[in-house]
A and B are shown apart, each in its own frame.
Chain A
Amino acid sequence: MAVSQPAVARRRRSWRGWQFVGPFMLIFALVFLAPIVYSIYLSLYRNQLIGGNSFVGFDNYQRLLQDSQFWESFGRVAIFLVVQVPIMLFLALVVALAIDSGRLYGKAFFRVSIFLPYAVPAVVATLMWGFIYGDQFGLVGNINETFNVSLPNPLSPHLALASIGNIVTWEFVGYNMLIFYSALRVIPGSLYESASLDGAGQFRIITAIKLPAIRGALVIATIFSIIGSFQLFTEPVILQPLAPNAITTYFTPNLYAYQLSFSGQQYNYAATVAIVMGLITMVIAYVVQLRGNRER
């Protein structure tokens, strides 16, 4: 008996593992795979006001490749990514290092107040900044009037993207600071002690111990920021009524998909935009992760 038991167990397929994983797999398939598959399915069709629904193969993808509005919106978020993300992460890092240095008076207050903007809903934050930016009745307008100067309109076509970058930076510096700060807190204090015994100054400790130790957190924050940049939507949507001629309906890829879908009734093409943007984001995030890990 003692010998045959494992043999039986080996022959009979065990479903125990599936019983554990099953519920997850089911929900995963339902909420993650199904929408993606459905979007891909949608992207292969075209529904017209005249002519109805028809299968068009990869026509939508071909159209996307030649769609100057899509590439313009993509270029815009790419610039945003290249400029805004480094500024934001650098600021977050400096603040995190400052708080972690232990030399800051009122550390807890400083930490909370920098994190506070993240707790403000993006819609409210954007509205608030919208009032600040207003060159007729907003703060900018008031400054112009009081000091008799003429500041450039932050919501003009040339400056709108920078103004949005400013809002996003304000919103997310605290969030990234917290990621960096918590990574810094787990570095064993003994490392600092031995470093100072070896005669390392603060700057040397930062470059030789702190930065290498939080590389993982830096990579994660960068990936989140990349995804966030490509998904830029709330801020431009809220500002659009204030600057309808500067913030177009294809200002960012997400906004473009929204417009196609809800104003244009072009669900199929919107699905195509969503899939292609998803793919591009995945590829870029993957490359960053690969690089981040390789240099470790």
Chain B
Amino acid sequence: MSKLLKVGAAATAALLSLGLAACGGGDDADSGSGSSATVSDADVTAALEKGGNLTVWAWEPTLKNVVTEFQKKYPNVKVDLVNAGTGNDQYTALQNAVAAGKGIPDVAQIEYYALPQFALGKSLTDLSGFGAESLKADFAPGPWNSVHSGNVAYGLPMDSGPMALYYNKNVFDKYGIKVPTTWDEYLDAARKLHKADPKAYITNDTGDAGFTTSMIWQAGGKPYTVDGTNVTINFSDEGSQKFVKVWQTLISEKLLAPISSWSDQWFQGMQNDTIATIATGAWMPANFVSSAPSASGKWRVADMPQWTAGQNASAENGGSALSLMNKGLNNNQALAYGFVKFANDGDGVQIRVDGGAFPATTKQLSDPKFLGTEFKYFGGQKANEIFAKSSQNVVTGWTYLPFQVYSNSIFNDTAGKAYVSGTTLADGLKAWQDQSAKYGNEQGFTVK
């Protein structure tokens, strides 16, 4: 009997793993009824005093300090901060938890591009009942718009990622190359650098959906439009084409290091002078400090190169919110909101800024002390001035797809082909467009 049970248990385990597809369940439709119960500030304060447990899924490194301070201030609350993976990995885990209806965290970090998808899936709590709208003035307009889906706030902005060009000053000085101010100059710099040192590349890229969309955003492209369930995807617009033209040249002339971002090689490349620039969000400095420590002093920050000389256009790359999940583990939304407010609007903001994060709150963004911060890593440069300027110059009118998480997951299947075969980037993006549209239609959207 015991042997039989053992066999049975083994078989169950085997089948559970085989039958993962089965755990979707048919009752997704009614999970989370977008609860907009009214929770007053007094309720939140009471919940904080009373205490309880909270499970938070986030990968933002500075949140650890916030949790420590939060627990000091509210000793009855115990926060379990879980790193369930960065970006897409966490979304997969989160979607599984939501589908299973079990083990859902109370609070989750969700990037702005992914927020509409989770809001639409009714996984996130509508914060209007918590009086979130009254906080509007506290946040920069870009991030504040990004936490809204429809007219409803589904989270509070945690950080933002206005783009800047990080460059290795040593490399540029060594070969006497001028730091590019336009993308055409960037292309020239890429050629000069790679010619001077065949091991050095202007930047790395193996096909990154988030980077590509941000670049198109900066170029003024608007490939996505969303009106309710009517969606259009079109990568043949002018802005997209500007990006394609420059990037295709970089790919064709093999001027991009075939190194994926966030890999060990990436951080090695920053430190051994083989990657000369990185165009990315203002949240990057903390990662430089923690993962490329030996390059301290070599790197500087500059404005994004422009598509048209003399302009000041910028875009957002990354940035995320903390959202309340429906059906969270501890079922204590007043407490969860208390934590989110502390971290993103209250004392937590300064704690994170001190840890190197880039805030989304107007108070910090206009604080002379914040702007005047000298970054030791960037040779004492006041980098926040550049980020804050970039934040003000973000091109308006950009939207992500309501199924951007899925769409990004198939970027390498389609557009990625341009990096490893004869497919052109334009054709690759067209394939991405078609595959994304196909998925959208399957999910009940009308995609054109």
Task: List chain A positions with a Cβ less than 8 A from chain B.
Answer: 23-24, 27, 30-32, 35, 38-39, 42, 45, 47-53, 136-137, 156-157, 241-242, 244-246, 248-250, 257-259, 261-268, 270-271, 273-274
Q: Are A156 and B442 in contact (CB under 8 A)?
A: no
Q: Are A42 and B206 in contact (CB under 8 A)?
A: no
List B contacts of A51 (CB < 8 A).
444
> Which stretch (B11-19, B319-327, B370-378, B390-398) binds chain A?
B11-19
- Among B28, B268, B406, B420, the residue within 8 A (CB) of A246 is B420
- 27 examples of A-B residue contacts, CB within 8 angstroms: A24-B4, A27-B8, A27-B11, A30-B12, A31-B11, A31-B15, A32-B15, A39-B22, A42-B21, A42-B26, A48-B442, A49-B120, A49-B402, A50-B443, A50-B444, A50-B445, A136-B258, A136-B265, A244-B412, A244-B416, A245-B416, A248-B413, A249-B412, A262-B96, A267-B21, A274-B19, A274-B21
Q: Please report whether the interface of chain B is mostly helix, strand, loop or mixed according to DSSP.
A: helix
Shortest CB-to-CB span from B297 to chain A, Å, is 25
Q: Give the distance in Å from the alpha carbon of A218 to the alpha carbon of B87 in the complex.
A: 46
Q: Give the distance in Å from the alpha carbon of A248 to the alpha carbon of B419 in the complex.
A: 13
Q: Are B409 and A259 in contact (CB under 8 A)?
A: yes
Q: Give the distance in Å from the alpha carbon of A51 to the alpha carbon of B445 in the complex.
A: 9
- Among B417, B420, B439, the residue within 8 A (CB) of A264 is B439
Q: Give the distance in Å from the alpha carbon of A31 to the alpha carbon of B46 in the complex.
A: 47
Q: Give the distance in Å from the alpha carbon of A137 to the alpha carbon of B263 in the complex.
A: 11
Q: Give the distance in Å from the alpha carbon of A156 to the alpha carbon of B121 in the complex.
A: 37
Q: Give the distance in Å from the alpha carbon of A271 to the alpha carbon of B213 in the complex.
A: 32
Is B421 located at the chain interface by the 8 A CB criterion?
yes
List A contacts of B21 (CB < 8 A).
39, 42, 257, 261, 267, 270-271, 273-274
Do A53 and B28 contact each other (CB < 8 Å), given the known contacts A262-B96, A263-B406? yes
Task: List chain B positions with a Cβ less than 8 A from chain A.
Answer: 1, 4-5, 7-8, 11-12, 15, 18-26, 28-29, 88, 92, 95-96, 99, 117, 120-121, 206-207, 229, 258-260, 263, 265, 268, 402-403, 405-406, 409-410, 412-413, 416-417, 419-421, 439, 442-445
Q: Give the distance in Å from the alpha carbon of A288 to the alpha carbon of B20 in the complex.
A: 28
Q: Are B26 and A53 in contact (CB under 8 A)?
A: yes
Q: Give the distance in Å from the alpha carbon of A244 to the alpha carbon of B416 in the complex.
A: 8
List B contacts of A32 (CB < 8 A).
11, 15
Most chain A beta carbons < 10 A, residue from B409, B419, B420:
B420
Q: A42-B21, A136-B258, A257-B21 are in contact. List 5 more A-B contacts (CB 8 A).
A: A49-B121, A49-B443, A51-B444, A249-B412, A262-B92
- Among A23, A27, A265, the residue within 8 A (CB) of B95 is A265
Q: Give the distance in Å from the alpha carbon of A180 to the alpha carbon of B394 in the complex.
A: 67
Shortest CB-to-CB span from A76 to chain B, Å, is 14
Q: Are A245 and B445 in contact (CB under 8 A)?
A: no
Do A245 and B420 contact each other (CB < 8 Å), given the known contacts A39-B21, A49-B443, A264-B439? yes
Shortest CB-to-CB span from A67 to chain B, Å, is 10
Most chain A beta carbons < 10 A, residue from B95, B265, B409, B443:
B443
Q: Give the distance in Å from the alpha carbon of A242 to the alpha carbon of B206 in the complex.
A: 10
List A contacts of B413 (CB < 8 A).
248-250
List A contacts of B405 (CB < 8 A).
263
Q: Are A48 and B444 in contact (CB under 8 A)?
A: yes
List B contacts of A250 (CB < 8 A).
413
Which residue on A lies nearest to B268, using beta carbons?
A137
Shortest CB-to-CB span from B429 to chain A, Å, is 14
- Among A24, A27, A245, A261, the residue within 8 A (CB) of B412 is A245
List B contacts of A48 (CB < 8 A).
442-444
List A contacts of B444 (CB < 8 A).
48-51
List B contacts of A52 (CB < 8 A).
28-29
- Among B18, B25, B95, B417, the residue within 8 A (CB) of A262 is B95
Shortest CB-to-CB span from A29 to chain B, Å, is 11
Q: Give the distance in Å from the alpha carbon of A260 to the alpha carbon of B437 in the complex.
A: 15
Q: Are A137 and B265 in contact (CB under 8 A)?
A: yes
List B contacts of A38 (CB < 8 A).
19, 22
Shortest CB-to-CB span from B414 to chain A, Å, is 9
Do A267 and B260 contact each other (CB < 8 Å), given the known contacts A35-B15, A50-B445, A248-B412? no
Q: Are A241 and B121 in contact (CB under 8 A)?
A: no
Do A35 and B18 contact each other (CB < 8 Å), given the known contacts A27-B4, A49-B403, A245-B417? yes
Which residue on A lies nearest to B98, using beta carbons?
A265
Which residue on A lies nearest to B88, using beta carbons?
A263
